[in-house]
Structure 1
Amino acid sequence: MSRYHRTFSVVICVYTEDRWQDILAAVESVRAQSLPALETLLVVDHNPALLNRLIEEFTELRTRGEEVRVLANAGPRGLSAGRNTGIAAARGEFVAFLDDDAVAERDWLRYFAESYDDPRVMAVGGRTRPAWASGRRPAWFPEEFDWVVGCTYRGLPHGRVPVRNVLGGNASFRRSAFDATGGFATGIGRDGDKRPLGCEETELCIRLGRALPDAVLLIDDRAVIHHKVPAGRERFRYFRTRTYAEGLSKALVSHSVGSAKGLETERRYTTRVLPAGVARGLRDALLGRPGGAGRAGAIVTGVATAAAGYAMASVRTRSGVAFSHGPIAAYAPGAEGGTP
């Protein structure tokens, strides 16, 4: 099949009316793609008011033949179940995911499609750039920790290269990848709680590699989205909270797939990328450049809080952990609850 005739379903999971304008911007960026999407699926996470408002907003588009469908999350509250709901409803050969507070560049889907020329490629992610609310990166905020705000971070390889896992807010998968894995695990990642957990895509990608040993997962730098970073996430307090939550999430992933795979990429990151970042920050401080000492201190703090979260969750998971995965069919629209 020609890459230009490949069909993409784009899933955008949403949960709050506070992001109304962001949601509209995300949908508009999909509608403007150089390779048109087959459909855009907005999955609403247990918010009836937002669900009804979106249905009303996009009814006119559907009458004009433009496929923007609004669905209720058919599983338990959370991002993983929302994504599984979208997967179950998707009609495309490929399923792409876009954050609800991000906009995709015009050729986003086209670059994804190019990578699927190789039939072994089961997932392709892109580059996510931060759009800071203040207009510029805080001087103390290290690029090595841009994952804290959902963006591509220093230390990831450049170009179009194989990776262990893609990042969920800017990613695509063959539909068959979910047939092989059963979809995203619940109990890992965000679930409506205030604690900013993550790693659900990491756990899925590791299981995908085990289910299909010849599978190739790629990141393509050209598939770019711009992710909004609100003012509250530019603060050091959020940085500490998010890094601690990442430690919790990594412990759940390691419990699921084993620490060898669960921490494979993180070992290189903590032994090579982060020490280089500390050294760079200290050098900048000695040269009188703004924020150098702050960046070095933030890296050290981030490592410490992530380690604390990992240790805490590891102790708790010794007596069992509440997450699961299973058939995507459990999330077909209209299904009552259930665990995938």
Structure 2
Amino acid sequence: MLAFVALLAASCGSPGKPMDPAPVSNAAWPQPAHVGGPDSSAGGGADTSCNPLASLSPSSTNVPDSSTMGDIKRRGKLIAGVDQTTYLFGFRNPTSGNLEGFDIDMVNEIARAIFGSPEGHVQFRAITSGQREEVLEKHQVDIVVRTFSITCARKKNVQFSSVYYKAGQRILVTKESKATKLADLSGKKICAAKKSTSAAKIATDPAKPVAITVDNWSDCLVMLQQGQVDAVSTDDTILAGMAAQDPTLQVVGGQFTEENYGIGVPKDNEDMVRFVNAVLDNVRNGGAWQDSYRRWVEPSLGAASPPSPVYQ
């Protein structure tokens, strides 16, 4: 009994001096993988040794057995390198799980010309901006349709179709920012994708902004939202998709570069280039280009017409 009383008294005693709580501080936002610095040679935009926009003249949309297109038809799949992170151009619909966007529509038109219908005949391969040339050089894909700007440096390694879309580099900032041009971002961090012509422009601009490079444009969006960079700069098409996803952001200033998108093809597949150019002629003239543009791009960037092709 005495032991029980002693135990009861002990349990009712003073709890002792409280412990100090652990110090609380703001945790740093995690950064995406493979964050890098400037690359003044990215994209090869400074090379003027050719007419970058001149492509091989179109053939027809027939598919000869002894051709690159015939090989693709026997395989049963067109393998296309695309983006899955750029809203409006190449992104995965969170509801259906399907890849959608303007670039995806272009892939489907090429598949339609080969197979009669794209359904079940396209194998999409999601690639980063920096992988576009590599997958073509290694013949890991048949085409790359991924906001791929045509440059003379790139044409030394891969083939390009005629221009199917014209874009221009601009700036994305928060609505609180006072910046409207690159000169306003001197010494500030600007995000761009690795090996892109946008990264090269930032790295060589006289205002001397600080270029931060990442694998995907979606990484730039997250870094801007988290305050890790002061702006994102790339083609207005890509920035429009970012602004559409986040109403606290806005695209500012005019275009300060001209970016001409082409469909990439392995260097030795000239017959595929001519075939793709024939498909693009039909896309421009038959209304498919305008239908896709109205669906994906016009609400953000206004009305436009397909660019005229230039052939060698």
- With the shorter chain as reference, the TM-score category is under 0.3
Which TM-score applies when normalising by structure 1? 0.24
Rg larger in 1 or in 2? 2
**Taking structure 2 as the reference length, what is the TM-score of the superposition?**
0.25
Structure with higher helix content: 1
